[in-house]
Amino acid sequence: MSTTTTPSEQGAETETEPLSLVEAVRDGLAGELARDDSVVVLGEDVGTNGGVFRATEHLQDEFGPQRVIDTPLAESAIVGSSIGLALSGMRPVAEMQFMGFASPAYDQLVSHAARMRSRTHGQYTLPMVVRMPYGGGISAPEHHSESREAAYVHEPGLKVVTPSTPTDAKGLIAAAIRDPDPVIVLEPKRLYRAFREDVPTESYTTPIGEASIRREGEDLSLFTWGSSTQPALAVADELAAERGIEVEVVDLRSLSPLDIETITDSVRKTGRAVVVHEAPKTAGVGAEIVATINEEALYSLEAPVTRVTGLDAPVPLHSLEDFYLPQALRIREGVLETVEA
Amino acid sequence: MSTHDDPKPTHRPQPTGQRDAEETASPPEDMVQVLSTDGEILPGAERPNLSDEQLLEMYEELVLARRFDERATGLQRQGRISTYAPMAGQEGSQVATSFALEDEDWLVPTYRDHAAKHAHGRSYASLLSHLRGYREGYAVPDDVNALPEYIPIGTQVPQAMGLAWGFSMQGEHDRAVLCHFGDGATSTGDFHEGLNFAGVYDVPAIFVCNNNQWAISMPVEAQTASETIVQKAAAYGIEGVRVDGTDPLAVYAVTRAAVRKAKHPAEGERRPTLIESCQYRLGPHSTADDPSAYRDEDDASGWEERDPVERLERYLYREEILDDETAESIKDDVEDCLELAVERAEAVETDPGRIVEHVYEEPTDRLREQLSDLAELRERHGDEAFGEVGE
Ligand SMILES: Cc1ncc(C[n+]2csc(CCOP(=O)(O)OP(=O)(O)O)c2C)c(N)n1
C-alpha cells in the first residue's frame, strides 16, 4: 500500500520515546484520531476510565466524548453499530474489553463485517477496526485468557493482526485504521507492560500481511506471534548460547493475510520448523502454517514440523496456567525434538 | 476437599403456596421499603414473615458477608487470591433474596454474588478456592441447587429462563429459578432475549437486577435512557418490582412474593418477575479497578448511610432481638468460620492432569496424549521449569 511507511525507512534521525506495548497502542490511536476526523474510538469504559488496561487513557480528554465514546455494555451493538458507522463514512475503532467477551459480537463480525464488501459486490466496504486483548498469563479470572485467533482467521473478509512489540503495536494500529477492510487487532495482554522499547514518536504504519524476522538463524524456523514471541526469543538465545543451535524466530504479526513467502523462504533456508501458539492445538492457526509448509516447501523439510501450543481444553484458572501455556520449557523441547529428528 | 463444609443455613421459609403477609407492604416512594435507614418499620409496612431466629440468622449472614468481603480483599492484596469483585453495600440484597428461596429453588449467580451463594448453601471455602485459581471451586455440591458464577455479562439470563422453562415442562411446579445480574447486563441482547422468552412462555423465574449504579466506569444513567430498569419488564409482559436493595426486609418481602407467584400463580397472574434492587457498589468494581478514575469520593453520599448490615442491626436492637452479648458472639463465630474457610481453601491442591479432565466425559485421544506429554516433562524437569522465561 502506498501509505505504508516503516520506522526503519525513516533513517537514524527518527525521534523515539520508550513505550510499553499498551502505551504504543494508545499512541497509535491518538495519532490516527488527530490525523483523521472520521476516526472514532468506542467501547466499554474506553472514555472516562481510559479502558480497563488504560489503552485509551486520556484520549477522551484530548479528543472529546464525541470521538472517544463510552458505550453501554453490548458487544453485538458495539460491532454492529461500528458496521453502520463505517457505512456512513466514519472509521470506527471498537474495543472488545477481552477477547473472551467478543462472542456476542461474533455474529456481527462473521455474518456481516466480513462480507459486506463481497455481498455488495464491492459497493460498500467497511474500514473498521476491532481491538481485542487476548491470551493468558496474567492470573485472570475465567473467560479472561482466551486465544481465539483461529476463529477470526478462518473468516474470509476479515484481516487479523497481532503485534508482539510496542513499535509494531503502534504501526499495526495505524495500518489497521487506514485499511479499507475490517481488521481485528489482537493485543497480547501479557505483553502490555512486559517491557519498553524506543518507539518513533511520529506517525507510521506497519504493513499488514508482512511477517517480521525477529532473529536470524540457520538451523530451524520458529513461527510464532503475539504473546508467544517473547518466550520463543528467550529460548532461541538460550539454545544458541548453550548448544550452538541457531533458531530463526519469525513473528508472523499478520495472521490473515499470512506472509507465505517469508514462511516458506525461512523453511527453505533452515529445513526445520516449529510453530508456537497459545491457542489450543486442534484447528489452530498452527495447522494452517504446517499445511502451507507442506504445500509450498515440503521437499525442503528434513523433519516433520512440530507444534507447541495450548492444550485442547479450556484455559485453566491460574493455578494451572503455567502448565497450559506454551512455556519456554515446552518450546525448548519442541525445538530440540525437531532438530534431533 | 469437601466443597460444602460450612453449616447449611436453616432459615428456609416454609413452602405454603399461600400469599405471605409481606406482599401487602406498600412502597413509601417508588421503591418498596420496609425499614427506615434508622431501622424502624415504616408506616404502612410490615415485618415480613420471619421469626426472631430467622432474623438473627439473616443478620449473622450479613456480618459474615461483610467480613468475607474485607478478608477476600485483603487476601487479594497479599497475592493469595486473584482478582476479586467486592460486594460491600450489596450484601443485604444478596442475603435477602437467597433467604426467600427454598432448597429446591435454583440460584443463578454472577461473580459478585458471594453472599447470595453462601446463603443458598455454598461454602465460603469453596468460593475462595476458585479465587485461588482452582477450578475445583466451581463445583457446586450436589445438594445445592445453584450454578457456578457467570462472568460473561448477561449470558445467564436466557439460561435461567430455560432452566425454569424446563422445570415447568417437566411438571416440577415447586421449583423457581432466581437469576442475578447487574445494571450493565440490561444492555445486552441476552437480557432482552431472555426476558422476552420468560414472558412468552410464562416461566417460574425471578430476574434480579442488582442495580449498583455502576458497570465498571459507566453510571446507570449512561447505560440506559429509560428512567428505571424495572420499566423494561413492561416491554416483555412481566411484572416489575423496584425495591430498596439496602433494606434486607424489603428485598426479602418482594422476592418471597415473586417466588410464591412463580410457583403458585393466582388466576391470571404471570409467573416471571423482574426485580430492580437499588443499591450502591461502595468499593471498586474489582480489586483490579481504580474507581477514582471515573467517580468522585462523595458520589456515594446518601448511600453510605444506607448500609444494609447496620440497617438490619438497628432494627434488631430496637426490637430487642439482638443485644450486645449476642452481637459479640456472632462476631466471634464469624471470625472462626472465616478462619476455617481460608484454611480449607488454602489446603486445596491440584494436579496438572485436571486441565484435561472434564472437557468431555472421556478425554479424547489427543487430550490423553497432551497429558502424557505434560506428565513426562514434569517427570524430567520438575514443576519449577514450567515458569515463564523471557519476562
Ligand atoms: C459480555 C461481557 N462484556 C464485558 C465484560 C467485562 N466486564 C466485566 S464486569 C463489567 C461491568 C458489569 O456491570 P454490571 O452488569 O452492572 O454488574 P456489576 O459488575 O456492577 O455487578 C464489564 C464490562 C464481561 N464480563 N462480559
> pLDDT tens-digit profile of B336-388?
999 999 999 999 888 888 898 899 999 999 999 999 999 999 999 998 888 75
Interatomic CA distance for residues B73 and B128, integer angstroms: 11
Ligand 1 pocket, B214 CB below 6 A?
Answer: yes
Q: Confidence class of residue B23 from pLDDT cuts 50, 70 and 90? A: very low
Q: Which of A158, A135, A130 is nearest to A145 (CA)?
A: A135
Closest-approach residue (CA) in chain B for A311: B370
pLDDT at B310: 96
Q: Is A111's pLDDT higher than 90?
A: yes
Helix (H) or strand (E) holding B28: none
Bridge-partner residues for A273, per DSSP? Answer: A221
Of the CA atoms within 13 Å of residue B230, those in its CB half-sphere come to 17
Ligand 1 pocket, B212 CB below 6 A?
Answer: yes
Instruction: Identify how many contiguous H helices and E strands chain A contains and give both numbers.
Output: 12, 14
Q: How far is the CA of B350 from the centre of ligand 1 (A)?
A: 29
- Enter the C-alpha cell of residue B323: 443485644
A312 touches chain B (CB under 8 A): yes
pLDDT at B22: 44
Cis amide prior to A104 (ω within 30 degrees)? no
Please give, rounded to a whole number of angstroms, the shortest distance from the CA of B34 to a CA of chain A: 32
A103 touches chain B (CB under 8 A): yes
Please give, rounded to a whole number of angstroms, the shortest distance from the CA of B216 to a CA of chain A: 7
pLDDT at B28: 37
Contacting residues of A for B224, CB less than 8 Å apart: 72
Nearest-atom number in ligand 1 for the CA of A73 is 23
Ligand 1 pocket, A34 CB below 6 A?
Answer: no
Mean pLDDT of B242-249: 97
**List B138, B201, B294, B317, catalytic entry:** B294
Please give, rounded to a whole number of angstroms, the shortest distance from the CA of B382 to a CA of chain A: 11
Quick check: B390 and A231 CB within 8 A?
yes
Q: Is B292's pLDDT higher than 90?
A: yes
Q: Which of B256, B227, B254 is nearest to B243 (CA)?
A: B254
Mean pLDDT of B46-52: 97
Please give, rounded to a whole number of angstroms, the shortest distance from the CA of A335 to a CA of chain B: 14
Among B64-68, B114-118, B129-133, the range scoring the smallest mean pLDDT is B129-133
Contacting residues of A for B218, CB less than 8 Å apart: 44-45, 70, 72-73
Residues 6+ positions from B49 with CB-CB distance below 8 Å: B13, B20, B21, B22, B256
Q: Confidence class of residue B27 from pLDDT cuts 50, 70 and 90? A: very low
Q: How far is the CA of B161 from the centre of ligand 1 (A)?
A: 20
Other C-beta atoms closer than 10 Å to the C-beta of A39 total 22
Q: How far is the CA of A323 from the centre of ligand 1 (A)?
A: 29
Please, where are the H alpha helices in B182-307? 189-201, 220-223, 232-235, 248-263
pLDDT at B30: 83
pLDDT at B349: 86
pLDDT at A125: 95
Nearest C-alpha to atom 6 of ligand 1 is from which residue? A97
Cβ pair A187, A55 in contact under 8 A: yes
Pairing of strands A196-200, A183-188: unpaired
Please tell me whether the interface predicted TM-score (ipTM) of this complex is above 0.95: no
Report the percentage of chain A scoring pLDDT > 70: 96
**pLDDT, tens digit, for every residue of B127-138?**
999 999 998 888
pLDDT at B2: 40
The dihedral over CA atoms of A94, A95, A100, A104, expressed in degrees to the nearest 10, equals: -30
pLDDT at B24: 36
Among B7-16, B178-187, B196-205, B366-375, the range scoring the smallest mean pLDDT is B7-16
Residues 6+ positions from A113 with CB-CB distance below 8 Å: A79, A82, A83, A126, A128, A130, A157, A158, A182
- Enter the C-alpha cell of residue A107: 455474529
Most informative mutation of B212, B216, B220 for ligand 1 (most atoms within 8 A of CB): B216
pLDDT at B304: 83
The end-to-end CA distance of chain B, in Å, is 34
E strand map for chain A: 16-20, 39-43, 68-70, 91-95, 129-134, 159-161, 183-188, 196-200, 212-215, 220-224, 247-251, 254-256, 273-280, 306-310
User: Which candidate from A73, A104, A233 shows the least CB-CB separation from B215?
Assistant: A73
Most informative mutation of A44, A46, A71 for ligand 1 (most atoms within 8 A of CB): A44
Of the CA atoms within 13 Å of residue A44, those in its CB half-sphere come to 24
Mean pLDDT of chain B: 92
Q: Is B301's pLDDT higher than 80?
A: no
Residues 6+ positions from A184 with CB-CB distance below 8 Å: A109, A129, A130, A131, A132, A152, A158, A159, A160, A161
Q: Which of A152, A261, A151, A278 is nearest to A207 (CA)?
A: A261
Ligand 1 pocket, B271 CB below 6 A?
Answer: no
Interatomic CA distance for residues A275 and A280, integer angstroms: 12
Instruction: Identify how many contiguous H helices and E strands chain B contains and give both numbers.
Output: 12, 7
Q: Is B56's pLDDT higher than 90?
A: yes
Pairing of strands A196-200, A16-20: antiparallel
Nearest C-alpha to atom 17 of ligand 1 is from which residue? B182
pLDDT at B5: 55
Contacting residues of B for A324, CB less than 8 Å apart: 355
Q: Which of A184, A185, A137 is nearest to A164 (CA)?
A: A185
Contacting residues of A for B385, CB less than 8 Å apart: 329
User: Which candidate from B151, B188, B293 shows the least CB-CB separation from A74?
Assistant: B188
Q: Is B300's pLDDT higher than 80?
A: no
Residue B332 has φ and ψ, to the nearest 5°, of -65, -45
Most informative mutation of A46, A96, A101 for ligand 1 (most atoms within 8 A of CB): A101
Nearest-atom number in ligand 1 for the CA of B186 is 15
Report the percentage of chain B scoring pLDDT > 90: 84
Region class of A313: left (phi > 0), else alpha (psi between -120 and 50), else beta: beta
Q: Is A9's pLDDT higher than 60?
A: no
Other C-beta atoms closer than 10 Å to the C-beta of B301 total 9
Residues of A forming the active site: 144
Nearest C-alpha to atom 19 of ligand 1 is from which residue? B215
Helix (H) or strand (E) holding B54: helix B52-77
Q: How far is the CA of B287 from the centre of ligand 1 (A)?
A: 14
Closest-approach residue (CA) in chain B for A308: B370
Report the percentage of chain B scoring pLDDT > 70: 92
What is the residue type of A297? Answer: A
Ligand 1 pocket, B109 CB below 6 A?
Answer: no
- Enter the C-alpha cell of residue B178: 432466581
Mean pLDDT of A45-52: 98
In sign, the C-alpha dihedral spanning B360, B366, B370, B376 is: positive
pLDDT at A4: 47
**pLDDT, tens digit, for every residue of B152-189?**
999 999 999 999 999 999 999 999 999 999 999 999 99
**pLDDT, tens digit, for every residue of A139-188?**
999 999 999 999 999 999 999 999 999 999 999 999 999 999 999 999 99
Three-state SS for B102?
Answer: coil
Q: Is A274's pLDDT higher than 90?
A: yes
Contacting residues of A for B82, CB less than 8 Å apart: 139-141, 317-318
Ligand 1 pocket, B218 CB below 6 A?
Answer: no
A70 touches chain B (CB under 8 A): yes
pLDDT at B375: 92
**pLDDT, tens digit, for every residue of A222-261?**
999 999 999 999 999 999 999 999 999 999 999 999 999 9
